[in-house]
Structure 1
Amino acid sequence: MRTDVKPSKIILAVAKAAEASFNRGQWLEFGYETGFADEVRSHPRLLRSLDWGDDDYYACVLDIMEEILRPQGRTVRHGSYGLVVTGISPEPFKVAERMLNLPKWLAENDRPLYDEIYEGGEFDAGVDELQAAAERLGLPDVDAHAARIRKGLRDDPAQAIGSSKELLETVLKAVLGLHGNGPETKKEIPALTKQASASLGLDAGGVRADEPGAEQRKKVLGSLAQLVFNTAELRNAGYGTGHGLSRGPSLDVATARLAVSAAVAAATFYIEAHAADRKARPAPSPPT
């Protein structure tokens, strides 16, 4: 689930799915699992409106869902089938999500609401891991790239592709200790990748033939290098920002997401491999 979704959207999504899916028994089961069985039973209209097919049933569903999904212990203002809500209680939401199979229901019945709540959730988790790894390694520049990538995938895929190339360049140069704008930093992605991989023992040539799974490791490491090259080529071909092209080709969001997710995973891998390499190296001897 996306981290920036508004609580009101979650309540709306759960209410829509519950209205379409829950029968009386499922409402009671939902009440028992969330600890709100008394509230479900005592609601003045919910079950009655369900049984009789009354027009106010959906309003009643919204009413009870706002009460169940609001943060526990919060003082709320009761209105006409409504409550003032500022957040979501995670445990009741998990029950609703499971019982309603919420992602599947929204994907099939309300795609715009699905996109607002779930689209990018797994990707955001990957970017979170990238930022956490970069923080441990002391790479503040990664945060700026990550923020642009998050926004770009939703609003501007070309920006996301361009930022992904910049992200990889930043990470590879950090691994190699290349900082600033000196001539030694003016290297293209293929050269940076080969040097960074070799310095970390991650190039295919660094795998000994007698190591377990040597052949498979060579293929994986070779694919990693190719993935990084292709991300740069995608941007250089005009699908990403950075070359000032006029009327450049456009890339669909699905392909952009695939390319950017791969770039984020590769960047995270290099950061974590670099951290492990630094930890494994013996500390320098103190001066005598």
Structure 2
Amino acid sequence: MTVIARRDLVSPGTRNAFRSLATDLTVRTVAELWEGHGFAPVAPEDLKYSDPGQRRTEFMRYAEGVDWADDSHVRRALLVFEDYIRTYRDPDEEGTPRWLEDIKVRLGRDGYHLNDDGRISWINPPVLMRDLSGLNDPSGILVELERIRRDLTTDPQGAIGAAKQLIEATAKTTLRELGVVVEKNRDVPILVAMVHKELRLDAASAPDGPDGSKAIKKILSGVINIAVGVAELRNQGFGSGHGQASAPAGLGVRHARLTVNAAVTWCELILDTMTDPSAPWRNSRSGDGPTLPETRTPAP
């Protein structure tokens, strides 16, 4: 299994700034702010942080239980941080206090915006909100998601290239999880067709019910065209991966967003179908090769 480094979505410096706020709160308040968003403390023997301050230690008992590289964990943790700001801030204080300005700068470096009401939002949000823990090895998908996150608003050509590679990585990961051997250099249209066949998302093998309805078949046909179109756009020189004599003229962020959103539509369909315990493909493969485990709920 290939292991890749997962980037923390909130830096240690930003987390430390919020930890400092706990110094002036009660231990009970520190715990309640975390538990209000579904987080649980790590066991005392598992706590790596050492500090004589009881409140800061209580903060870290919860912070160490957060997967800071996981989108869903971080979204909830940001809600906790919003509550910390509202709880700590003096409502009668005029202007922006220095501690809040420091937090705003730190969040900005991490890719977040803190508005005047204390709301934290993603400047460049994740594009694929799916739990990948049910996959044996999601590293190929994670690499492309990180590329998209990095390039979407700064390098449209790079984002388009990563969108095509996200489709390719999702297709290859799906087929590997299903025990299907894939030739190394298969083109994206062939990979997409193979995935749809294995998951019974093609017209020929769709079962009765909603999956086999004419409307769903039309939608699935469109989704296949979307995936193939993303690959064609990249291959026509609008995406990274091929050296060009001249940079593509007129390519902008809107083209990158269109392409990335198109790629994500297809990838979410495939991942949702893979992790659906009642998806038709599971019945067709029972007793015939491995099946993917059902979706796991991330631990808080």
Q: Same fold (TM over 0.5)?
A: yes
Residue correspondence of structure 1 range 159-178 to structure 2 within 5 A: 159-177=158-176
The structure carrying a bigger helix percent of its residues is 1
Q: Kindly name which structure, 1 or 2, has the bigger radius of gyration based on alpha carbons.
A: 1
In the alignment, the residues of structure 1 paired with residue 216 and residue 116 of structure 2 have an alpha-carbon distance, to the nearest angstrom, of: 41
Q: How many Å apart are 1:149 and its aligned residue?
A: 1.2
Deviations 1:147-173 (A, max 9, x none): 111101132111111111112112212
Number of aligned residue pairs = 198
Gaps of 5+ in 1: 8-33, 47-59, 67-81, 104-116
Q: Residue 63 in 1 paired to residue 75 in 2?
A: no
RMSD: 4.1
Structure-2 residue corresponding to 1:211 = 209
In the alignment, the residues of structure 1 paired with residue 155 and residue 104 of structure 2 have an alpha-carbon distance, to the nearest angstrom, of: 32
Structure-2 residue corresponding to 1:232 = 231
Aligned partner of residue 159 in structure 1, secondary structure: helix
Structure-2 residue corresponding to 1:265 = 265
In the alignment, the residues of structure 2 paired with residue 166 and residue 134 of structure 1 have an alpha-carbon distance, to the nearest angstrom, of: 20
Gaps of 5+ in 2: 1-8, 15-85, 108-113, 290-300
Q: How many Å apart are 1:134 and its aligned residue?
A: 6.2
In the alignment, the residues of structure 1 paired with residue 99 and residue 254 of structure 2 have an alpha-carbon distance, to the nearest angstrom, of: 33
Residue correspondence of structure 1 range 86-125 to structure 2 within 5 A: 96=117, 118-121=122-125, 124=126
Find 2:91's aligned residue among 18, 23, 40. Answer: 40
Structure-1 residue corresponding to 2:298 = none
Structure-1 residue corresponding to 2:68 = none
In the alignment, the residues of structure 2 paired with residue 86 and residue 119 of structure 1 have an alpha-carbon distance, to the nearest angstrom, of: 13
In the alignment, the residues of structure 2 paired with residue 192 and residue 233 of structure 1 have an alpha-carbon distance, to the nearest angstrom, of: 14
| Maintained 8 Å contact 1:134/1:271 | no
Residue correspondence of structure 1 range 117-266 to structure 2 within 5 A: 118-121=122-125, 124=126, 126-129=127-130, 132-133=131-132, 136-177=135-176, 184-207=183-206, 211-212=209-210, 214-249=213-248, 250-266=250-266
In the alignment, the residues of structure 2 paired with residue 119 and residue 261 of structure 1 have an alpha-carbon distance, to the nearest angstrom, of: 16
Q: How many Å apart are 1:283 and its aligned residue?
A: 5.1
Q: How many Å apart are 1:183 and its aligned residue?
A: 8.5
In the alignment, the residues of structure 2 paired with residue 229 and residue 143 of structure 1 have an alpha-carbon distance, to the nearest angstrom, of: 21
Structure-1 residue corresponding to 2:294 = none
| Maintained 8 Å contact 2:189/2:228 | yes
In the alignment, the residues of structure 1 paired with residue 103 and residue 269 of structure 2 have an alpha-carbon distance, to the nearest angstrom, of: 44
Q: How many Å apart are 1:174 and its aligned residue?
A: 2.6
TM-score by length of 1: 0.55
In the alignment, the residues of structure 1 paired with residue 105 and residue 151 of structure 2 have an alpha-carbon distance, to the nearest angstrom, of: 28
Distance change >3 Å, CA 151–CA 188, structure 1 → 2: same
Aligned partner of residue 61 in structure 1, secondary structure: coil
- Identity within the alignment, %: 25
Distance change >3 Å, CA 283–CA 211, structure 1 → 2: closer
Deviates more, 1:196-205 or 1:167-176: 167-176
Q: How many Å apart are 1:133 and its aligned residue?
A: 2.1
TM-score by length of 2: 0.53
